[in-house]
Amino acid sequence: MKALIKLQELSELLSRRGIEHSDKEAELMIRHGLNMNLVDLLKDNPELDDEQSLTLDNMADRRIKREPLQYIIGHTDFLGLTIDVGPGVLIPRPETELMAEYAIKVVSCQLSVVRDKAHRASILDLCTGSGCLALALAQAFQDSDVTAVDISEDALKYARKNAELNNARNVRFISGHLFDPLEKDSLFDFIISNPPYIKSQVIATLQPEINEWEPVNALDGGNDGLDFYKKIVTEARRYLKEEGMIMFELGDDCAESVAVLFEKAGYSHVSMKEDYAGIKRIISAQK
């Protein structure tokens, strides 16, 4: 069978099983299964051998069971970085990519006002998961020191592997709950976090790719979705330098609540940024 016929077959199968964006997912499966870019695939339209056909059929079987495509392929792209993912680690979302881009701008502005040009920015990423945020910042600021924390050993295995894959030498990953594993005199210019923020009772209603496959401890933000925000906002002041910045990714309906947390804790310059759907998705504040 020719590759493009198989592509159409896979797309139709996925569509019948209710998979959104079936054309794009089928294309990614074919490209991964054949290790080809799209241009060469369209130009050459190779004949599939039995092993390739079996590989693609197995991928399709996994996908119609609602296993996330990123787990099946084994990686995803994040701001040009290759991020390995699989069971036990949260899959980076476009919203998190948006936050990484915004964080790079904020840190750049912070560094531009530092008079000491030899200053090495110190950055902390809490609930790092796959390490995507930490690695994006480490790549953008190669003269910085990035520390990334997660309580999940499964996630940290991926994060450390992703550091190796992307040749990141200025980031360290440590195990623990939020600030607990840090030295008490640790101080950072910038703290960033994409914490668990889904309300506990909502998780069961999410699409099966999420609630049946992705780690619950990376999703569950407690009854009001604010558990992690409350703890981080309160404790971060001890670990932020004067005029240091803190930034969160936000759940769909918690922007105002988190803004109030910042204001009550004495932070200034609280600001928000919307995502591609017009939802307030990123919040930042200054000590």
The model carries a pTM of 0.93
pLDDT at residue 160, rounded to an integer: 98
Based on the number of CB atoms within 10 Å of its own CB, is 214 exposed (0-12), middle (13-18) or buried (19 or more)? buried
CA 92 to chain centre: 3
Q: Which residues, 6+ apart, have CB-to-CB distance to 78 below 8 Å?
A: 92, 96, 97, 100, 132, 135, 136
pLDDT of residue 111: 78
Phi first, then psi, for residue 184 (nearest 5°) are: -65, -20
Asked if residue 81 lies in contact with residue 162, where contact means CB atoms within 8 angstroms, the answer is yes
Residues 6 or more apart whose Cβ sits within 8 Å of residue 256: none
Q: What is the pLDDT of residues 27-82, one digit of tens each?
A: 999 999 999 999 999 999 999 999 999 999 999 999 999 999 999 999 999 999 99
d(CA 156, CA 252): 27
Tell me what pLDDT residue 116 has: 60
Half-sphere exposure of 132 (CA within 13 A, CB side): 27
pLDDT of residue 114: 62
Quick one: tokens of 207? 């699409």
Residue with tokens 């069978």: 1
Give me the average pLDDT of each 10-residue run along the chain (287 residues). 95 95 96 93 93 96 97 96 97 96 92 68 97 97 96 97 97 98 95 97 95 96 97 97 96 95 97 94 97
